[in-house]
Amino acid sequence: MANAVEVSDDNFATEIEQTTGLAVVDFWATWCAPCRMIAPIVEQLATEYAGKAKVAKLDVDHNQKTAARFNVRSIPTILFFKDGKLVDQVVGAVPRPALEAKFKEHA
């Protein structure tokens, strides 16, 4: 996770909702196989969009309040925030082109 930051219930508002521009949050869990499948894609996109998007990961097992607040019912779920407002989401382990298209759309 070189370019993706870890966020929690405690710092979500500061790290994501007060960010100007694009912030992307990967809601995941250690036991989730599809989450592990897309983790390298999220990391690659975090590297490629460094300076254009803030990419974060939130472990739903340890941060249930934030997951519930955004109605995350299945993981992986990736939420896209623009200037602190939720603008889009991707649910499930999607191929890289699908995820990259969302980054391009909102960055």
Report which secondary-structure segment, H or E, holds 87. strand 85-91
> Active-site positions?
32, 35
The DSSP symbol for 6 reads E
What percentage of the chain's residues is helix, strand, coil (to nearest 5)? 35, 30, 35
Q: Judge whether 70 and 79 are in contact, CB under 8 Å.
A: yes
HSE-CB at 76 with a 13 A cutoff on CA atoms is 27
